[in-house]
Amino acid sequence: MNSNTVKPVRGRPKTLDRDHVLDVAMDSYWKDNIGNLSLNEICRRSGVSKPGLYREFSNEDGLMKAVLIRYQEQVLEPVQQMLNSDVPFKEALDNLISFATSVSCHDESPNGCLFIKMRESRVHLGKETQAQIDFLEKQGLVFFKKWVERSKTKGEFSVDMSSEFAATYIDAQLSNASTQLARGVAPETVKKILLVAFSVLE
Amino acid sequence: MNSNTVKPVRGRPKTLDRDHVLDVAMDSYWKDNIGNLSLNEICRRSGVSKPGLYREFSNEDGLMKAVLIRYQEQVLEPVQQMLNSDVPFKEALDNLISFATSVSCHDESPNGCLFIKMRESRVHLGKETQAQIDFLEKQGLVFFKKWVERSKTKGEFSVDMSSEFAATYIDAQLSNASTQLARGVAPETVKKILLVAFSVLE
DNA sequence: TTCATTTAGTACCACTCGGTATTTTAATTT
DNA sequence: AAATTAAAATACCGAGTGGTACTAAATGAA
């Protein structure tokens, strides 16, 4: 999946590595708070000139949207696939907890889910990014809902609760976990909280 | 509690209204995201010159700390007093939910708890403010813990859960509620989530 | 009146921000 | 070789940031 679509046309050959810039930007937005990270800093970290970055992503909004799409593909999609598989409900729930509380190893800085972080600062982001956030949110809720519905038919989810609300509740608790991790709360603590919060679903 | 401590000494009489500035600043930090609100804007909104503000609060850090202290006195303290009273556990829990999900009426902009908002952006704030946040956090957890302990001796809290962890769990769920409200989630939804999350405590 | 004291506010500082006009450079086509 | 095309980067733009010299003004004390 090389994003430098094969197009050896005419002029000066392109040296800007789109994937590399996206990697750096994703990592940066992830670790630092989105609102406190400038384009200048991303240029500095990725070794790209500012006009180069603007040529590739139009503006800050475009970069953020691209980062968000990349995050969806690389991080969120595997989880959604897991939910789509035929793993028993309780096991899938455990997987979800493991995923949510697994700190991305490298570095000491705080973490959590980039999507949720961006969703929290939604108001201050560009329109394209906002639209992408809204899309991902809706999509995520649909995944959760379908998962719960399937689990109900399989008899693995028997609590008296609408699938719609169950999805909202799961989303809320995962968001909470992300926020706490970002704040620096110990992953084991977050895990225990999630376990208790999800115990109402069994 | 007039903060203009009676000191009619010598020089030019002070016209700066500390309480008014704090009111404006608290409101501003509360509604807008803290990180996106400048000192200049606060000066503009409160009708105070910048040097005037610096004379009163030293710097941005000092202002934020002062705002946080004011927020504790005006908003948090009443809740803590309620927890210290002899209200039955379940009733106190309901009060807590009502408090957490009551949007502060005026205006359409997002809300939530200012303390929790500041705690989430803790890393990017000044040292004084950070210290105040840490103090309030610790204090809050102690309140929750004592409340649970008292409820245990009264036989109103019988779940097998350490008071320490219960306090952490309650704090986490309230934080979650605040974050969701700030994001724009409907208060009724947030309330329902809190009800479910707290149902494990009964 | 004169002087010390304290506050008020204008006008500035260096710096960073998102974004761009402009020119240079490296390739292909004619 | 010359013309064309596209990407490179320097150097800039106006606006906004946190913070501060500095001067004017208002009071009580001498």
The confidence score (pLDDT) of residue A1 equals 40
- Taking residues A155-173, what's their average pLDDT? 98
Of the given ranges (A72-76, A184-188, B100-104), which has the lowest mean pLDDT?
Answer: B100-104
The confidence score (pLDDT) of residue B141 equals 98
Res. A5: pLDDT tops 70: no
- Taking residues B81-103, what's their average pLDDT? 95
Distance in Å from D7's C1' to B95's CA comes to: 63
Do A47 and A21 contact (CB within 8 A), yes or no?
Answer: no
Q: Which residues of B touch A33 (CB under 8 A)?
A: 35, 121, 123-124
The CA-atom distances, in angstroms, between A86 and each of A47, A57, A150, B29 are 44, 39, 9, 47
Q: What is the dihedral of CA B101, B106, B107, B112, to 10 degrees?
A: -30
Give residue limits of the domains in chain B: 71-201
Q: Which residues of A touch B200 (CB under 8 A)?
A: 196-197, 199-200
Res. B108: pLDDT tops 90: no
From CA A132, how far away is CA A118, in angstroms rounded? 10
- The residues of B whose Cβ lies within 8 A of any Cβ of A are 33, 35-36, 110, 119-124, 161, 165, 168-169, 172-173, 175-176, 179-180, 182-183, 189, 192-193, 196-197, 199-200
The confidence score (pLDDT) of residue A2 equals 40
- CB within 8 Å of B80: residues ≥ 6 apart: B140, B143
Res. A3: pLDDT tops 50: no
Return the structure tokens found at A32: 């630092």
Are the beta carbons of A192 and B122 separated by less than 8 Å? Answer: no
The confidence score (pLDDT) of residue A104 equals 65
Q: Which residues of B touch A36 (CB under 8 A)?
A: 35, 124
From CA B60, how far away is CA B141, in angstroms rounded? 27
Distance in Å from D23's C1' to B130's CA comes to: 36
Q: How many CB atoms lie within 10 A of CB B161?
A: 17
Q: What is the pLDDT of residues B12-22, one digit of tens each?
A: 999 999 999 99
Do B137 and B122 contact (CB within 8 A), yes or no?
Answer: no
* Confidence band of B9 (pLDDT split at 50, 70, 90): confident
The confidence score (pLDDT) of residue A108 equals 65
Return the structure tokens found at B138: 């610790």
Q: How near does any CA of chain B get to the CA of A110, in Å?
A: 10
Res. A151: pLDDT tops 90: yes
The confidence score (pLDDT) of residue B70 equals 98
Can you spell out the DSSP letters for B37-106?
--HHHHHHHHT--HHHHHHHHSSHHHHHHHHHHHHIIIIIHHHHHHHHS---HHHHHHHHHHHHH---SS
DSSP type of residue B188: H
From CA A150, how far away is CA A161, in angstroms rounded? 14
Is residue A8's beta carbon less than 7 angstroms from any atom in nucleic acid strand D?
A: no
Using a 7 Å cut-off to protein CB atoms, list the covered nucleotides of chain C: 4-11, 16-22, 25-29
From the list A113, A111, A114, A115, the residue with the least C-alpha distance to A132 is: A115
Q: How many CB atoms lie within 10 A of CB B15?
A: 7
Q: What is the pLDDT of residues B134-189, one digit of tens each?
A: 999 999 999 999 999 999 999 999 999 999 999 999 999 999 999 999 999 999 99
Is residue A60's beta carbon less than 7 angstroms from any atom in nucleic acid strand C?
A: yes
Superfamily for the B71-201 domain: Tetracycline Repressor, domain 2 (1.10.357.10)
* Domain A72-201, CATH class in plain words: mainly alpha
Q: What is the pLDDT of residues B54-73, one digit of tens each?
A: 999 999 999 999 999 999 99
From the list B186, B3, B163, B199, the residue with the least C-alpha distance to B83 is: B163
Q: Which amino acid is at A15?
A: T
Res. A105: pLDDT tops 60: no
Res. B3: pLDDT tops 50: no
Per DSSP, chain A holds a count of helices (H) and strands (E) of 10, 0
The confidence score (pLDDT) of residue A72 equals 98
Closest residue to D10 (CA to C1') is: A49
Percent of chain A at pLDDT exceeding 90: 87
Q: What is the pLDDT of residues A41-97, one digit of tens each?
A: 999 999 999 999 999 999 999 999 999 999 999 999 999 999 999 999 999 999 999
Is residue A60's beta carbon less than 7 angstroms from any atom in nucleic acid strand D?
A: no
Q: How far is CA A24 from the centre of its chain?
A: 15
- Taking residues B121-137, what's their average pLDDT? 97
From the list B80, B111, B78, B81, the residue with the least C-alpha distance to B177 is: B111
State the average pLDDT for chain A: 93
